[in-house]
Amino acid sequence: MSSVRYYLRSKKTNPSVIMGHLYHDGEEFVCTTRYSVHPANWNYNKNRVTNKERYFEDINQ
């Protein structure tokens, strides 16, 4: 089974790059996305961009 988790590379850098962790068959893959957001506009509980960020719907999809 596969799962994906997103997080920010740094909580202190403005803006910060959104990173992705992909888990598949016991292996872990780390990648960067082409998106970056300000840490204040990142929901750490849901690992998603808040609606304060421009184009948040596109980034969350």
pTM of the model: 0.82
What is the reported pLDDT for 45? 93
Pairing status of strand 16-24 against strand 2-8 = antiparallel
- Residue 35: CB atoms within 10 Å: 16
DSSP 6: E
For residue 61, name the pLDDT band (cuts at 50, 70, 90). Answer: confident
What is the reported pLDDT for 53? 74
For residue 59, name the pLDDT band (cuts at 50, 70, 90). Answer: confident
- Provide the residue ranges of all domains of the chain, joining segments of one domain with +: 2-60
The tens digit of pLDDT for each residue in 3-53 reads: 889 999 998 989 999 999 999 998 999 999 999 999 999 999 999 999 887
CA distance 55 to 31: 21
